[in-house]
């Protein structure tokens, strides 16, 4: 199977570890991810905040390149996924002139939903060497992957299940909680730290109260917000995993603590406690 | 107690909506404009406040989400463009998703933010507005947004540094930046997209310039 891959800017910087785990997981699953030729930024929140036209045009450049490759797209970042889908819908409505040839006909998958399809779950389960038994976690989806449903296509946007199914497939104990799709504050912390912190702190508190020892996410911004706030290690650490890091762990014979060196809340003690590393 | 919340609620200056305003024909005009540009179902709002209750940051806003919709109906344009609300809003889409009348609250707030960005009204939340602008500038220079370059560009903007000093946040921000560098999360060198001039051209055109 072959798909075009839209990494997004974070995967070259803040979320380089996410990129590495995705690479390992898709190799193991025999799925060829072909990076979109000369991809460019989707515009994220800034584009739609200041220029609605740019929020359609910027993702369109990547849709156009993927169409030339003729491959459906998979996006690991929730915000990129959301912006690509939004642009696709606006292209189909033909309300703006796009400087690149583009029809908006390709499928755009968010990576969690792609890997949570029943056939994929089967493939994942088949390759699990050592399940992550005993790992108690909550799945956190954030906003952009699920809302607004008319763009994301999620029907279970109040209680999404894709990460839950994947975490379950790798043997973790998934705990239900009510904050799956509550906002983490996105980039607001850069301008108004106290607003950002109030949102992330609450999420971590609720995760702890639910009895989770870790959080699993798919969005680079969610990961860094939930992880960064733990940099001083003042409270019980709650490691924040990318879901592909968990899959990679149980696919691998030799597991390297270095995979987690970019994390602030160090997952290694927790993983060794359950004999996963 | 968070001082920002106090400021919004108890400041002595006139609160938005406090003085009597005559609507005349501008109410209709602004309402029709926003309705047309966002397809937002503005007239269907019956002020149930569900949007505000679903909003994770409504307590940091001076005009609450349900009030935004009412203000649009009344044509109170300047109050909206001067509000903190349009910059504090996270576009998390809780409001739109839970509105019983399919009022597109988040899209309307976003559209107001667009209008404010192209107006002469100074943004109430300067840092948040400048951050968005900086992001687009870095994007149009290199096609991709490297976090290190973004933060450098943001802090080079006038007043950002001094505002951080004034709010007492500078030390915390610097320590965070250092910690991110140490973890290898901020990368001083980065890749670019090859055909950046395409993007720059689109960006310039989107601002109404002829190229
Ligand atoms: S939820 Fe909808 S109907 Fe209720 S106040 Fe908000 S916009 Fe109006
Ligand atoms: S989109 Fe904005 S106004 Fe709506 S709930 Fe989210 S933060 Fe509040």
CB-based contact A44 B183, cutoff 8 Å: no
Average pLDDT over all residues of chain A: 96
Confidence of residue B129 (pLDDT cuts 50, 70, 90): very high
Partners of residue B145 in chain A, C-beta under 8 Å = 9, 41, 44
Indicate if A154 and A260 belong to the same structural domain: yes
What per-residue confidence (pLDDT) applies to B16? Answer: 62
Indicate if A104 and A124 belong to the same structural domain: no
Q: Which of A79, A112, A145 marks a domain boundary?
A: A112
Residue A167 belongs to domain with CATH number = 3.40.50.11810
What per-residue confidence (pLDDT) applies to B192? Answer: 87
* pLDDT one-digit tens code per residue, A177-209: 999 999 999 999 999 999 999 999 999 999 999
* pLDDT one-digit tens code per residue, B151-167: 999 999 999 999 999 98
Indicate if A57 and A125 belong to the same structural domain: no
Its pTM stands at 0.93
Indicate if A131 and A256 belong to the same structural domain: yes
Pocket (CB within 6 angstroms of ligand 1): B 45-51, 66, 69, 99-101, 103, 105
What per-residue confidence (pLDDT) applies to B27? Answer: 66
The mean pLDDT value for B42-63 works out to 97
What per-residue confidence (pLDDT) applies to B50? Answer: 98
Indicate if A70 and A142 belong to the same structural domain: no
Residues 18-47 of B with CB under 8 A from A: none
- What is the ipTM score, two decimals? 0.95
The mean pLDDT value for B184-194 works out to 88
Indicate if A54 and A131 belong to the same structural domain: no
Chains A–B, number of C-beta pairs less than 8 Å apart: 167
* Mutational pocket test of ligand 1: of B54, B58, B100, B108, the residue with most ligand atoms within 8 Å of the beta carbon: B100
Which residue has a Cα nearest atom 4 of ligand 2? B95
- b/e map of A107-132 (b: 16 or more CB within 10 Å)? ebbbbbbbbbeeebbebbeeeeeeeb
Indicate if A19 and A104 belong to the same structural domain: yes
* Nearest CB neighbour to A195, from listed B88, B114, B151: B88
Indicate if A141 and A14 belong to the same structural domain: no
What per-residue confidence (pLDDT) applies to A184? Answer: 96
Indicate if A36 and A55 belong to the same structural domain: yes
* Nearest CB neighbour to A13, from listed B132, B190, B193: B190
The CA distance from A191 to the nearest CA of chain B, in Å, is 5
Indicate if A191 and A100 belong to the same structural domain: no
Q: Which of A112, A145, A180 marks a domain boundary?
A: A112
Whether the CB of B31 sits within 6 Å of ligand 2: no
Q: Of all atoms in ligand 2, which is nearest to the CA of residue B68?
A: 3
Neighbours of A46 (CB within 10 A): 24
CB-based contact B132 A45, cutoff 8 Å: yes
Which domain does A67 fall in, by range? 2-112
Neighbours of A180 (CB within 10 A): 20
Indicate if A141 and A269 belong to the same structural domain: yes
* pLDDT one-digit tens code per residue, A198-251: 999 999 999 999 999 999 999 999 999 999 999 999 889 999 999 999 999 999
Residue A49 belongs to domain with CATH number = 3.40.50
Indicate if A139 and A226 belong to the same structural domain: yes
Q: Which of A112, A139, A162 marks a domain boundary?
A: A112
Domain count across chain A = 2
Q: In chain B, where are the structural domains located?
A: 29-117, 126-206
DSSP string, chain A: -EEEE---GGGGTTTHHHHHHHHHHHHHTT-EEEEPTT-----HHHHHHH-HHHHHHHHHHHHHHHHHHT--EEESSHHHHHHHHHHHHHHHHT-S--SS-----S-EEEHHHHHTSHHHHHHHHHH-SS--TT-EEEE---STTTSSHHHH--S-TTS--HHHHHHHHTT-EEPP-S-TT----TTHHHH-HHHHHHHHHHHHHHHHHTT-SEEEES-HHHHHHHHHTTTT--S----EEEHHHHHHHHH-SS--GGGGTT-SS--HHHHHHTT--
């Amino acid at each position: 199977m072959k798909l075009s891959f839209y990494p997004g800017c974070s995967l070259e910087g803040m979320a380089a570890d996410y990129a590495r785990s995705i690479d390992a997981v898709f190799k193991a699953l025999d799925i060829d991810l072909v990076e979109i030729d000369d991809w460019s930024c989707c515009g994220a929140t800034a584009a739609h905040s200041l220029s609605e036209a740019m929020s359609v045009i910027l993702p369109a450049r990547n849709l156009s390149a993927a169409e030339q490759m003729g491959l459906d797209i998979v996006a690991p970042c929730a915000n990129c996924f959301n912006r690509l889908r939004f642009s696709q819908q606006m292209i189909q409505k033909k309300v703006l002139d796009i400087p690149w040839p583009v029809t908006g006909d390709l499928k755009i998958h968010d990576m969690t939903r792609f890997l949570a399809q029943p056939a994929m779950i089967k493939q994942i389960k088949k390759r699990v060497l050592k399940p992550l038994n005993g790992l108690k976690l909550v799945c956190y989806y954030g906003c952009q992957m699920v809302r607004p449903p008319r763009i994301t296509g999620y029907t279970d946007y109040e209680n999404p299940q894709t990460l839950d199914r994947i975490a379950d497939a790798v043997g973790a104990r998934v705990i239900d909680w009510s904050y799956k799709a509550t906002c983490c504050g996105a980039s607001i912390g850069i301008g108004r730290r106290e607003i950002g912190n109030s949102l992330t702190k609450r999420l971590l508190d609720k995760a702890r109260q639910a009895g989770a020892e870790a959080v699993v996410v798919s969005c680079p911004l969610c990961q860094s917000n939930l992880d960064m706030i733990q940099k001083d290690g003042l409270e019980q650490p709650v490691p924040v995993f990318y879901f592909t890091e968990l899959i990679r762990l149980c696919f691998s014979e030799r597991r390297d603590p270095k995979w987690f060196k970019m994390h602030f809340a160090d997952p290694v003690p927790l993983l060794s406690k359950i004999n996963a590393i | 107690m968070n001082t920002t919340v106090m400021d919004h609620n108890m400041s002595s200056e006139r609160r938005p909506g406090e003085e009597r305003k005559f609507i005349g024909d501008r109410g209709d005009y602004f309402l029709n404009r926003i309705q047309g540009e966002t397809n937002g179902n503005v007239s269907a709002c019956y002020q149930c406040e569900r949007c505000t209750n679903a909003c994770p940051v409504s307590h940091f806003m001076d005009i609450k989400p349900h009030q935004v919709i009412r203000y649009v109906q009344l044509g109170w344009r300047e109050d909206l463009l001067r509000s903190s609300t349009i910059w504090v809003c996270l576009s998390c889409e809780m409001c739109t998703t839970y509105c019983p009348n399919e009022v597109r609250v988040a899209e309307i707030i976003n559209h107001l933010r667009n209008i404010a960005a192209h107006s002469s009204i100074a943004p109430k939340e300067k840092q948040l507005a400048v951050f968005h602008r900086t992001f687009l500038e870095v994007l149009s220079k290199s096609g991709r947004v490297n976090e290190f370059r973004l933060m450098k560009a943001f802090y080079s903007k006038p007043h950002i540094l001094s505002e951080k000093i004034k709010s007492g946040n500078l030390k915390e921000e610097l320590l965070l930046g250092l910690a991110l560098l140490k973890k290898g999360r901020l990368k001083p060198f980065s890749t670019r997209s090859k055909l950046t001039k395409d993007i720059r051209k689109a960006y310039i055109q989107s601002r109404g310039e002829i190229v």
